[in-house]
Chains A and B, each alone.
Chain A
Amino acid sequence: MEKRGKYTTVSIPVTLYNRIKRVIEGTGFTSVSSFVTYVLREVVASYEEERSAEPFTEEEREKIIEKLRKLGYL
């Protein structure tokens, strides 16, 4: 599939670059950039998840529990 997007440059130590280059040999990753993007997405998503808040108040929660009881789910 054709990919289209904007890219920017991030600096990493050359030693790390070389290490990644060795690691991705024979894997599905086609470049160091694609590997770094993959790993960073995973890490960033887990940080973001830790920060997301509960979407409902205690009052809303109680109302929902009442509805779930009425419908027989609880």
Chain B
Amino acid sequence: MVSKPHGGTLIRRVSPRDKRETLIEETNEMVSIDVPFDIATDIENIAYGVFSPLEGFVVQEDYTSILYNMRLSNDIPWTFPITLDVSPEEIKGVKEGDTIAIKHNGTFIATLQVEEIYRWDKKRFARHVYRTEDPNHPGVYKTYRKKELLVGGKILLINELPNPFYKYTLRPAETRILFREKGWKTIVGFQTRNAPHIGHEYVQKSALTFIDGLFINPLVGWKKKNDYRDDVIIAAYETLIKYYYPRNAVVFSITRTPMRYAGPREAIHHAIMRKNYGCTHFIVGRDHAGVGNYYGPYEAQEIFSEFPDLGITPLFVKEFFYCRRCGGVANEKVCPHSEEYRVKISGTKIRQMILSGQTPPETMMRPEVARVILSYDNPFIEEV
């Protein structure tokens, strides 16, 4: 059975079409703030229930509870505070109880009922959420560049953001119905920020051997330098699915949200998002949502033991490799052979090969997928 929404209710904070014009007119009288793309996608994700049970940006009670207890103030598991940062100048004259207009690149997208304006300690945020205060961590770096106040309150989405990937963007209400229509009782979610290599494929297919349906759900949005570009990830997966997956067992759809590189906490956040899409299971691999050496290789799996009430079952998987002796892809649980026979399927090595125009070997990446990636001038993010 499709999973119940996190917190019990699938949130929908989208203005009805017939009220949009009136709301847009009213915003002329409101204080407006322009938000970056990351925040704008947070608003869409709140509005369409990806972040259920959140109905807006967190107020201080929830913020503090998330930081210290990894739960909302009503005890529901929640590990990453979804916040709106502003400068005092931007909200000059705004009081709690007011409604403000939110724009992105000058275009009006939503309203926010201001419940609370509060100060925050960026270092404390970094220490709890990222488990480091090191500004070299990409998430910490972004945190330190944020503004000094946070605004909490419910949002209402009026206009969606332009979306070049519309065809690939399904909302939780849509995936939940889709999974049911397909007759799936169990659905496993796969989070990714990479183009797929053989290791990813075997992780997904291993899960699919005992689960009805696979939901491949890459994150599209801000990522660090040298990660794959969004359009490359989508094209690579389209190719992989076309040639190597049973069509009736897979749904591919994106989530527009930034990678936060918060390791263990982000693994829980990722699982909650997939629960809201209707997944019953969620794959957690080695160093999920990690970066550099900030987290232990299996810390993102261990954290799940703190959440007996998460409502989605994590599937912990070991790394896959190619074993020359087995003559196929395996992992340490099923392969008895020593290191000398094993070829590591390294994302970093694949990246280096692609950058130098080489096709990665078939033991690492499907040739059709490699060809698609190599057809791009530069498949990787250059600047952030």
Q: Is B26 an interface residue (CB 8 A)?
A: no
A73 pairs with B170, CB closer than 8 A = yes
Q: Is A59 an interface residue (CB 8 A)?
A: no
Tell me the chain B residues, 221-269 only, with Cβ under 8 Å from chain A: 251
**Closest Cβ–Cβ distance, residue B52 to chain A (whole Å):** 9
The count of residues in chain A whose C-beta lies closer than 8 Å to any C-beta of chain B is 28
The answer to whether A74 and B69 touch (CB under 8 A), given A45-B308, A51-B8, is no
B308 pairs with A38, CB closer than 8 A = yes
Tell me the chain A residues, 35-74 only, with Cβ under 8 Å from chain B: 38-39, 41-42, 44-45, 48-49, 51-53, 55-56, 60-61, 64-65, 67-68, 71, 73-74
The count of residues in chain B whose C-beta lies closer than 8 Å to any C-beta of chain A is 28
A49 pairs with B311, CB closer than 8 A = yes
The one of B75, B177, B311 that contacts A56, using a Cβ cutoff of 8 Å: B177
B308 pairs with A39, CB closer than 8 A = yes
**Closest Cβ–Cβ distance, residue A50 to chain B (whole Å):** 9
The one of A1, A45, A73 that contacts B251, using a Cβ cutoff of 8 Å: A73
Contacts of A1 in B (CB 8 A): 68, 128
Q: Per-position contact with A for B1-42: 1 when CB-CB < 8 Å, else 0?
A: 000110011101000000000000000000000000000000
Tell me the chain A residues, 1-44 only, with Cβ under 8 Å from chain B: 1-5, 28, 38-39, 41-42, 44
Contacts of A55 in B (CB 8 A): 5, 9-10, 12, 49, 173, 176
Closest to B166 in A: A71
Further contacts, 13 of them, CB under 8 A, given A49-B8, A52-B9, A74-B181? A3-B68, A4-B68, A4-B69, A28-B305, A42-B308, A45-B308, A45-B311, A48-B8, A49-B4, A52-B8, A56-B177, A60-B173, A74-B178
Q: Which residues of A contact B (CB under 8 A)?
A: 1-5, 28, 38-39, 41-42, 44-45, 48-49, 51-53, 55-56, 60-61, 64-65, 67-68, 71, 73-74
A-B contact pairs, 12 of them (CB 8 A): A1-B128, A4-B64, A4-B68, A45-B310, A48-B8, A49-B4, A52-B9, A55-B176, A61-B177, A64-B173, A67-B174, A68-B181
